[in-house]
C-alpha cells in the first residue's frame, strides 16, 4: 500500500483526537464532559545533546550523620545583583528565622538566619563589602514562630507578605538573569525541576522522599502566586518510581537524556522560552520543601540532606545539615592520602557540583541553595608530554584518549587543565553538548563585545552560567566560558534592568 494513501487516515485520526480531548478554562481535560486530572497527561521531551561526566565518588543512598555546626554563615555572595543592608551587629542574639540582612534596593526582601545563636562576626572584604554574617549556633535550635492562617483563605498578596516577612522570598529565582524574583511582578510561569543531572548530584528521590507533604504544600503556595502555572519536570528513567509523580496541581513534563536535562533553564527553553519583557520564576525542589514547612509549621526550617561525594571522598553519602554549614565539620569525610587522592595533592572543597559550584576551601561554608558538596583533588602539578600518552586512564570527549572504549568506567578527575588558555576558535563542539535552541559561540562573542542588541537576539534572557558549564568542560581552547556569561548578564542588568 502506498504511503500517500495511508497518511490522510492518520491526519483524520489526529484531528478526531483533538476534537475529542479539549482544554477547558480550569486547566483540566475533558472527554465528553468527563473530567480527568491533568497530571496524568505528561509530555515527553528527549534531550539528545549533552554529556554525563563519568566522575568517581557517587554518593550512596545512606545518611552518614547529622551535622550540628558550631558556626554557620549567611552570605550575600550567594545571590546575584544583591546589595545587602545589615540588620544585626556583633553580639546580637538571633532565632532561626530572624532577618540578618535585607536587599537595600527592595527592603521587604529579607534574608534569615537558619539557626539560633549569637552573631559572632560581620565578615567584610574590599571596600567594606559584606561577605558573610557569622553566627555561633546554639546546640538546640530555637525557632521564630509565625502564625499562618489557612492557605485556602489567603490570596496572592497575603502569601507574598508572609513569604517576605518569613525570609522565604530569596528561594524564588527569576529568569532572565538568575536573580531573586521581584515581588511586584507576576511571572509567565513557575518552574520546578524534580531531578538533578549534575555530576555526583543528590538523588532527590532519596534526599527529599520524607518531605513529600512539605513539597506538596509548597506547590500549593506557589499556585497561590500563579494559579495553574507550576510546571514540574521528572526524569523519564525514574518517573514511575519517583514519589513526586504523585504531586497534585502541577503540570508534569518528562525529560529524557544526559546532563543538562535536569537544568531548569533547558526545561524552560523546551517548554516555554523566555522572551524580552517576560519573566519566569524557578524554585529548587529542596527550597520548595522549605516554603512548605513554613506554611505548615510557621517556622523557617532549611534542614536538608546534602550529597557528599567526589574522587576524594572517603565514604560518599549524605549528611543532614543547614545551608551555611562550615566545611570543617565534614572535613574528616575528605581523604588527603589514599588510593583516591595523590599524596602531593590538596583537596578542593566545592559547594555545589564540579561544573558550577564554588571553591569555598576548608574554612568555607555551604551555599544557600546547594544540595551537594564535592571533594576534588587540586591539579597543581605538571605532566610532561601528557598529550603524547593516549593510553592513560583519562576521560576525553574528542577521543584523544581511549576512554570511549570503556563507556561505563569512572575516573578520578582533578582540576588540572592539562594546558593553558588558547585563542577562542569558532567551532561546532559546543553545539554537541548544548541542547538549547541558541547559538552558543555567537552569544559568547556578543557577551565579549558587550553588544546588547546581539545578546538580546541570541538568547541572553534564557541562560545563566550553569547552561554553559558543559561547553566550558569540553572547550578545546580552555576558556572560562561561565565568566563570559556572568559578564554579559552584568551588562544587561546595568543597562536594561
**Beta bridge mates, 373:** 308, 351
Rg of the chain in Å (alpha carbons):
24
pLDDT at 403: 73
d(CA 482, CA 213): 36
CA dist list (Å): 412 to 73, 331, 408, 469, 486: 31, 19, 14, 19, 29
pLDDT at 399: 74
Mean pLDDT, contiguous 10-residue spans, the chain (497 residues): 41 42 36 36 88 96 95 97 97 98 97 98 96 96 96 96 98 97 95 97 97 98 92 96 96 97 97 94 98 98 97 95 96 70 69 96 96 92 67 75 78 85 84 95 96 96 97 92 97 89
d(CA 289, CA 302): 8
pLDDT at 2: 41
Q: What is the pTM of this model?
A: 0.89
pLDDT at 15: 43
**Are 237 and 254 in contact, with CB atoms under 8 Å apart?**
no
pLDDT at 279: 95
pLDDT at 104: 96
> For the chain, which domains are there?
71-297 (3.40.50), 304-390 (3.10.20), 430-495 (no CATH)
| Neighbour-count burial of 96, counting CB atoms closer than 10 A to its CB (0-12 exposed, 13-18 middle, 19+ buried) | buried
CA–centroid distance for 283 within its chain: 8
pLDDT at 388: 62
Amino acid at each position: 500500500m502506498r504511503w500517500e494513501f495511508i497518511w490522510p487516515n492518520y491526519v483524520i485520526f489526529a484531528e478526531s483526537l483533538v476534537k475529542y480531548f479539549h482544554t477547558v478554562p480550569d486547566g483540566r481535560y475533558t472527554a465528553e464532559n468527563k473530567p480527568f486530572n491533568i497530571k496524568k497527561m505528561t509530555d515527553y521531551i528527549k534531550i539528545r545533546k549533552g554529556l554525563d561526566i563519568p566522575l568517581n565518588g557517587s554518593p550512596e543512598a545512606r545518611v552518614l550523620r547529622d551535622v550540628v555546626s558550631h558556626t554557620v554563615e549567611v552570605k550575600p555572595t550567594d545571590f546575584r545583583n544583591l546589595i545587602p543592608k545589615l540588620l544585626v551587629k556583633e553580639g546580637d542574639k538571633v532565632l532561626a528565622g530572624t532577618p540578618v540582612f535585607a536587599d537595600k534596593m527592595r527592603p521587604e526582601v529579607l534574608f534569615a538566619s537558619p539557626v539560633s545563636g549569637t552573631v559572632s562576626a560581620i565578615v567584610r572584604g574590599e571596600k567594606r563589602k559584606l561577605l558573610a554574617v557569622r553566627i555561633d549556633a546554639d546546640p538546640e535550635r530555637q525557632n521564630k514562630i509565625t502564625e499562618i492562617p489557612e492557605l485556602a483563605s489567603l490570596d496572592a498578596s497575603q502569601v507574598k507578605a508572609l513569604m517576605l516577612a518569613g525570609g522565604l522570598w530569596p528561594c524564588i529565582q527569576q529568569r532572565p538573569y538568575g536573580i531573586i524574583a521581584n515581588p511586584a511582578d507576576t511571572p509567565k510561569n513557575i518552574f520546578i525541576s524534580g531531578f538533578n543531572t549534575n555530576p555526583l548530584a543528590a538523588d532527590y528521590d532519596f534526599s527529599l522522599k520524607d518531605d513529600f507533604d512539605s513539597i506538596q504544600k509548597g506547590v500549593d503556595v506557589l499556585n497561590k502566586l500563579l494559579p495553574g502555572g507550576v510546571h514540574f519536570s521528572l526524569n523519564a528513567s525514574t518517573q514511575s518510581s519517583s514519589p513526586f509523580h504523585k504531586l497534585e496541581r502541577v503540570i508534569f513534563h518528562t525529560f529524557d537524556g544526559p546532563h543538562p536535562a535536569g537544568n531548569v533553564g533547558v526545561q524552560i527553553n523546551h517548554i516555554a522560552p523566555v522572551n524580552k519583557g517576560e519573566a519566569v520564576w524557578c524554585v529548587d525542589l529542596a527550597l520548595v520543601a522549605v516554603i512548605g514547612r513554613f506554611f505548615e509549621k510557621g517556622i523557617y526550617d532549611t534542614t536538608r540532606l546534602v550529597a557528599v561525594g567526589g574522587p576524594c571522598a572517603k565514604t560518599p553519602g549524605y549528611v543532614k545539615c543547614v545551608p551555611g554549614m562550615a566545611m570543617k565539620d565534614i572535613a574528616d569525610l575528605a581523604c588527603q592520602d589514599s588510593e583516591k587522592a595523590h599524596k602531593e595533592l590538596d583537596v578542593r572543597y566545592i559547594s555545589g557540583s564540579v561544573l558550577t559550584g564554588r571553591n569555598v576551601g576548608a574554612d568555607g561554608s555551604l551555599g544557600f541553595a546547594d544540595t551537594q558538596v564535592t571533594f576534588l583533588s587540586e591539579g597543581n602539578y605538571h605532566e610532561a608530554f601528557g598529550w603524547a600518552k593516549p593510553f592513560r586512564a583519562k576521560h576525553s570527549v574528542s577521543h584523544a584518549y581511549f576512554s570511549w572504549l570503556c563507556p561505563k568506567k569512572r575516573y578520578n578527575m582533578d582540576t588540572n587543565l592539562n594546558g593553558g588558555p588558547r585563542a577562542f576558535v569558532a567551532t561546532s563542539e559546543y553545539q554537541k553538548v548544548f541542547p538549547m535552541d541558541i547559538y552558543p559561540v555567537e552569544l559568547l562573542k556578543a557577551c565579549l563585545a558587550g553588544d546588547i542588541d546581539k545578546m538580546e537576539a541570541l538568547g541572553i534572557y534564557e541562560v545563566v552560567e550553569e547552561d554553559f558549564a558543559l561547553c566550558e568542560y569540553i572547550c578545546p581552547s580552555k576558556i572560562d566560558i561561565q565568566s563570559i556569561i556572568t559578564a554579559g548578564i552584568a551588562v544587561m542588568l546595568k543597562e536594561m534592568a
